[in-house]
Amino acid sequence: MRKITFDIETRNTFEDVGSNDAVDLDISLLCTHDSKTGEYDTFMHDDLDRLWPLLEKADMLIGYNSDHFDIPLLNKYYHGDLTKIKSLDILKEIKNSTGRRFKLDSVAEATLGTNKSGDGLDAIKWWNSGEIDKIKKYCLDDVRITKEVYDYARENGILKYKDKITHEVKEIKLDTSKWEDKEEEENGMVQSLF
C-alpha cells in the first residue's frame, strides 16, 4: 500500500480571511513522505502540478486534522476530488476513540518523546518575512512526526498524551486493524477516482 503522509502550511490565518473555513486560506507550501520511496519532498504553492501525480498514485493519504483542514484546502487547488482517495486522519481517529481532540505536539511528546519545531502561526510569520527554508524545515518535521505517530499507533494500537491537570501520561486505545485495508469495491470493481 502506497501511503502519502502530508502536511500543509498556509500564508494567512482565519482572522486574516475573516472565515473559519480552511478553503478560504491560501497554501504557502506542502510537504510529503512517500512510503514507496521513503523520500520526503516539499511543494511550493506555485509547484502543486508536480504534486498531483504523486497523490493520484496514493492508496492512502495520512495526516493530522487532514480530513477537516488539509484535504478540503488542497482540494481547492486540485482539478479532481481528493476525497475520493482513502484518507487516515489521526486526529479524527483519536477523537473517535476518546471524544477529545489533542494537539499533535501533545501526542508526539507523550508517545515519541519529541516535540514539534514550531506552530502554524510561526510558519505564517516566516512566510511574511520570506524565510521559506524555515517553513520547509518546520513542515517536514511535522510530516516526520505525523508519520512516526502513525507508525507507532499501527504497531502498538495506542497513542499517548499528557494529562494537562495531573501531568500523567495516559494511553489512547486505537483499533488500527483496518487502517490499511483497501477501500471497499463497488460491484466488484474499483470505481474511478478522477
Contact assessment for residue 70 and residue 63, using Cβ atoms and an 8 Å cutoff: yes
Does 40 score more than 60 pLDDT? yes
Residue 184 has a pLDDT of: 55
All structural domains of the chain? 3-173 (3.30.420.10)
* Dihedral over alpha carbons 92, 169, 174, 31 (to 10 degrees): 50
Give residue-wise pLDDT tens across range 69-109. Answer: 999 999 999 999 999 999 999 999 999 999 999 999 999 99
Contact assessment for residue 118 and residue 77, using Cβ atoms and an 8 Å cutoff: no
Confidence class of residue 188 from pLDDT cuts 50, 70 and 90? Answer: very low
Residue 97, all three cell numbers: 476513540
* Percentage of residues of the chain with pLDDT beyond 90: 86
Confidence class of residue 192 from pLDDT cuts 50, 70 and 90? Answer: very low
Query: HSE (CB half, 13 Å, CA atoms) of 186?
Result: 3
Mean pLDDT of the 114-119 span: 84
Distance separating alpha carbons of residues 69 and 12, to the nearest angstrom: 14
